[in-house]
Amino acid sequence: MYYKRILLKLSGEALMGERQYGIDPKRLAEYAQEIKELVDKGVEVAIVIGGGNIFRGVAGASNGIDRVQGDYMGMLATVINGLALQSALEDADVQTRLQTAIKIEAIAEPYIKRKATRHLEKGRVVIFGSGTGNPYFTTDSAAVLRAIEIGADVILKGTRVDGIYSEDPEKNPDAVKFDLITFKDVIKKGLKVMDMTAFTLSQENNLPIIVFDMNTRGNLLKVVSGEQIGTKVTN
Tens digits of residue pLDDT in 143-166: 999 999 999 999 999 988 889 998
| Predicted confidence band of residue 57 (pLDDT cuts 50, 70, 90) | low
Four-CA torsion 209, 212, 214, 217, nearest 10 degrees: -130
Spatial CA neighbour of 197 closest among 142, 120, 116: 142
- Collapsed DSSP state (helix, strand, coil) of residue 61: helix
Mean pLDDT (whole number) for 74-90: 96
| Predicted confidence band of residue 60 (pLDDT cuts 50, 70, 90) | low
Q: What is the pLDDT of residue 29?
A: 95
Q: What residue numbers bound the domain in which 159 lies?
A: 5-234
Spatial CA neighbour of 235 closest among 187, 197, 191: 187
Q: What is the pLDDT of residue 168?
A: 82
- Examine the pLDDT at 63 and tell me if it is beyond 80: no
Spatial CA neighbour of 161 closest among 193, 195, 138: 193
Q: What is the pLDDT of residue 61?
A: 63
- Count of structural domains within the chain: 1
Cα(50)–Cα(109) distance, rounded to whole angstroms? Answer: 18
Spatial CA neighbour of 74 closest among 160, 141, 122, 7: 141
User: Whole-prediction pTM value?
Assistant: 0.94
Q: Which amino acid is at 81?
A: N
β-partners of residue 96 are 125
Please give the mean pLDDT across all residues of the chain: 93
CATH at residue 133: 3.40.1160.10
- Examine the pLDDT at 193 and tell me if it is beyond 80: yes
**CB-count burial class (<10 Å; 0-12, 13-18, 19+) for 198:** buried
| Predicted confidence band of residue 192 (pLDDT cuts 50, 70, 90) | confident
Mean pLDDT (whole number) for 73-99: 97
Tens digits of residue pLDDT in 118-143: 999 999 999 999 999 999 999 999 99
What φ, ψ does residue 104 adopt, rounded to 5°?
-140, 70
In whole angstroms, how large is the CA radius of gyration of the chain? 17
